[in-house]
Amino acid sequence: MTASTEWSIQADPPALAAEAARRFVDSCNRSIAARGRCIVALSGGSTPRALYHLLAAPPYRDAVNWACLHVAWGDERCVPPDHADSNYRLARETLLDRVPVPAEQVYRMPADMLDHESSAAAYETTLRNLFAEARVGAHFPRFDLIYLGLGVEGHTVSLFPGSSALRETARWVAAPYVEKLHDHRLTLTLPVLNNAREVVFLVAGAEKAGILRRVIADPPEKPLLPAAAVRPVGGHLLWLVDRAAASSLDGA
């Protein structure tokens, strides 16, 4: 059972990016005030680009104590870090090269290793070290903030419909083969997503209207769609969507 679910429907992509930036700053500052740091997992794809650009400039850039941020990723394509498809490169170019997060607090997913399972295991070790003192007894890490996107077939991070990674109950990071992409991906697993303090879905565009309606209608007790399985127990779930993506929802 998600502790709380919230909807914020914004007029258009620029308004959505601005609200996402405002929420990002608020969430980071709450975590830093409470625990001295904020551990965030960034999403990839195209939607967050506008958010990252906003965060890298005033007023948002000046509203966060970036030295207290620890930056991880929710998933990564199996490409080098300078590849055009790299989620790391997206965040590096649009945000991390422009704000003072200490280099040792940026944790890139090593998705470019030849052996994908070794990549997943290596990243899990990185996260176990990052969360070591905070986990006392808990099996899964508790990210302060995780930003997610929504794929047109209902995937989020790199958890695609039908993936065996959806059934993962122990590992923090998986390296599923994605039929649709004819490639492997690296991804956080559902237990990690569902242990976060706050999860934000950032969804924009009319092409996402159909899948968003299906995700919301997916039965929570046995969801068919990966994005519908994201229900942070004891955490806050925020759907940040623009009006075009929300256009098929009841009452939209």
Residues that bind ligand 6PG (CB under 6 A): 43-47, 74-75, 87, 149-151, 155-158
Closest CB to ligand 6PG among residues 135, 213:
213
Task: Give the CA-trace dihedral at 113, 102, 82, 159, to 10 degrees.
Answer: 60
User: How near is the Cβ of 83 to ligand 6PG at its closest, in Å?
Assistant: 12
Among 150, 146, 135, 129, residue whose Cα is nearest residue 189 = 146
DSSP label of 80: -
User: How near is the Cβ of 30 to ligand 6PG at its closest, in Å?
Assistant: 24
Quickly count helices (H) and strands (E) in the chain.
6, 10
Distance between CA atoms of residues 36 and 194, nearest Å: 22
Closest CB to ligand 6PG among residues 45, 81:
45
Can you read off the two tokens belonging to residue 70?
């620890």
CB 105 within 8 Å of CB 68:
no
User: How near is the Cβ of 94 to ligand 6PG at its closest, in Å?
Assistant: 13
Closest CB to ligand 6PG among residues 3, 152:
152
Among 128, 136, 113, residue whose Cα is nearest residue 39 = 128
- To which H or E segment does residue 16 belong? helix 13-35
User: How near is the Cβ of 134 to ligand 6PG at its closest, in Å?
Assistant: 25
User: How near is the Cβ of 45 to ligand 6PG at its closest, in Å?
Assistant: 3
Strand partners, 40: 71, 145
- Return the residue matching tokens 């400039």: 57
User: How near is the Cβ of 41 to ligand 6PG at its closest, in Å?
Assistant: 10
Closest CB to ligand 6PG among residues 47, 194:
47
Closest CB to ligand 6PG among residues 12, 62:
12
- Return the residue matching tokens 């159909």: 210
Beta strands 177-178; 75-77: pairing state: unpaired
User: How near is the Cβ of 152 to ligand 6PG at its closest, in Å?
Assistant: 7
**Radius of gyration (C-alpha) of the chain in whole angstroms:** 17
Closest CB to ligand 6PG among residues 75, 144:
75
Closest CB to ligand 6PG among residues 68, 246:
246
Can you read off the two tokens belonging to residue 198?
């706050």
Query: Which residue's beta carbon is nearest to the bound ligand 6PG?
Result: 149
